[in-house]
Amino acid sequence: MAYLFTSESVSEGHPDKVADQISDALIDNFLAFDTDSKVACETLVTTGQVVLAGEVKSNTYLDVQQIARDTINKIGYTKGEYMFDGNSCGVFSAIHEQSDDINRGVDRASKEQQGAGDQGMMFGYATNETENYMPLALDLSHRILIELAELRRENKDITYLRPDSKSQVTIEYSDDNVPQRIDAIVVSTQHDDFGDDDTMLAKIRKDIVEILIPRVVAKLPKQIQVLFNDDIKYHINPTGKFVIGGPHGDTGLTGRKIIVDTYGGKGAHGGGAFSGKDPSKVDRSAAYATRHIAKNLVAAGVADEVLVQVSYAIGVVEPMGIFIDTHGTCSFNMTDGEIAEKVSQIFDMRPFAIEERLKLRSPMYSETAAYGHMGRNNETVTKTFTQPNGETATVDVELFTWEKLDYVDKVKEAFGL
């Protein structure tokens, strides 16, 4: 029997994502001037206020208040009428030095013997139902909001948009797990107050269905475009009005959108957030490493769908174990346990090895903090960072290194494909 599956996304202006982006902007600035920085930074945003808290061990000094303000302005909170804007909000910092008890479990005389920054289990997932090996419902949810943000910044075809928004896509699958059609799309977008409720809702619905969705569809592969049809159920601003939004409408916290950050409910999640953590925290680095493994396994033809789990004990170098689940889609006669054994031989999952393999000690994290950490484009960009004393650092940064298919040949060789 066919079934429905749903995933959601939130925009860069969603309060939880504002918090994530501030936390990751701090990470990038610390790493730009001291690649050995150890950082765990949490952010809270609410009406007219930002609170920064966390632990840092670094040889650099930053103006964390200004970094927070610049991030907020970049997102688009630049008007006093939003009741939260980068130029006038208060920024309170309670960041202090990292605990020596935690640090001694990570730092070693030899970097290769670096211990895990915490215990826990991390998951990576990949499926061949999309070109970027991501679950389709989540991929479409992200694309809708990325395009909506483009329309907001263009301020031409739609002129009333504000930064906060959410999307949700429901897809019908066949018994053999193949997407058949899009059943429903939900879009809730913050907007200016430009008329009575009925007039605003009618205008927003028309613009979303007739302007936004066609722009999204036009950028999709043909095999995905055919899933859109005239029978899709659209729920546009279902409450009828969404003027009060962002951190004024709802308090935001770092790490509250971890399912949006990963696989939209497909696969699994170990529970640890990513944003605000330097790569010694395996919550982040090992989640990227398992995505890298899963994507390369699927791309190599090992299986149509792969879930990878790895687990650690704090301060211990080697992982507790690696688990593989191909959901019965393995293309040859090998058990998931046998696949896991080969994977452990191909990929070095010691924390420092992961950092080196994926170049995680570079200031690459601001771009991850909205529209998902997985399924993004691997590219190199140039960034410039400035300290309070005027010193600058210009760095070429390779983004989303865990999305590279650089291990496909090694996987094929190991599995005889």
Confirm or deny that 16 is annotated as ligand binding. Answer: yes
Please state, in angstroms and rounded to a whole number, the distance separating the CA atoms of residues 211 and 151.
9
Is 188 annotated as a binding-site member?
A: no
- For residues 298 and 127, the answer to whether their CB atoms sit within 8 Å is yes
- The reply, when asked if residue 355 is annotated as ligand binding, is no
Residue 26 contacts residue 41 (beta carbons within 8 Å): yes
281 is in an annotated binding site: yes
The response to whether 166 counts as a known ligand-binding position is yes
* 79 annotated ligand-binding residue: no
Q: How far apart are CA 185 and CA 232, in angstroms?
A: 7
Binding site annotation covers 164? yes
CA distance 137 to 154: 26
* Distance, CA of 168 to CA of 142 (rounded, Å): 9
The candidate with the shortest Cα–Cα distance to 94, out of 68, 120, 118, 112, is: 68
Structure token pair of residue 161:
């948009």
CA 250 to chain centre: 20
Pairing label, strands 49-57, 161-173: unpaired
Parallel/antiparallel/unpaired status of strands 305-312 and 379-386: unpaired
Structure tokens at 330: 């393995």
Closest CA to 406 of 300, 331, 288, 323: 300
* Phi, psi dihedral angles at 320 (to 5 degrees): -70, -30
Only one residue has tokens 């840092």, namely: 56
The count of other CB atoms within 10 Å of the CB of residue 59 is: 9
28 is in an annotated binding site: no
Tell me whether residue 396 is annotated as binding.
Answer: no
Task: DSSP for 290-324, please give it.
Answer: HHHHHHHHHHHTSBSEEEEEEEE-BT-SS-SEEEE
57 is in an annotated binding site: no
Backbone angles phi, psi at 5, to 5 degrees: -135, 140
- Is 98 within any annotated ligand binding site? yes
242 is in an annotated binding site: yes
Annotated binding site for ATP: 14, 164-166, 241-242, 250, 256-257, 273, 277
Annotated binding site: 14, 16, 42, 55, 98, 164-166, 241-242, 250, 256-257, 273, 277, 281
Annotated binding site for K(+): 42
Annotated binding site for Mg(2+): 16
Annotated binding site for L-methionine: 55, 98, 250, 281
